Amino acid sequence: MDAQIFADAVVDVNHQIPYGKVGVRGDALCLAGIGAALLAKSGKVYKGCNVENAAYSPTNCAERTAFFKAVSEGEREFVKIAIVGGVEGTEPEELCAPCGVCRQVMNEFCDKDQFEIILMDGPDNVKVLKLSELLPYGFSLN
Q: What is the DSSP string of 69-109?
A: HHHHTT---EEEEEEEEE-TTS--SS--PPPHHHHHHHHHH
What confidence tens digit (pLDDT) does each residue in 19-57 have? Answer: 444 333 444 444 557 788 899 999 999 988 887 776 777
Q: pLDDT at position 50, please?
A: 80
For the beta carbon of residue 30, count every other beta carbon within 10 angstroms.
Answer: 20
CB 44 within 8 A of CB 75: yes
From 63, 88, 108, 116, the catalytic residue:
63
Active site residue 63: yes
How far does CA 62 lie from the centroid of its chain? 5
What does pTM read for this prediction?
Answer: 0.80
Report the chain's mean pLDDT, rounded to a whole number.
Answer: 78
81-107: average pLDDT: 81
pLDDT confidence bin for 89, thresholds 50/70/90: low
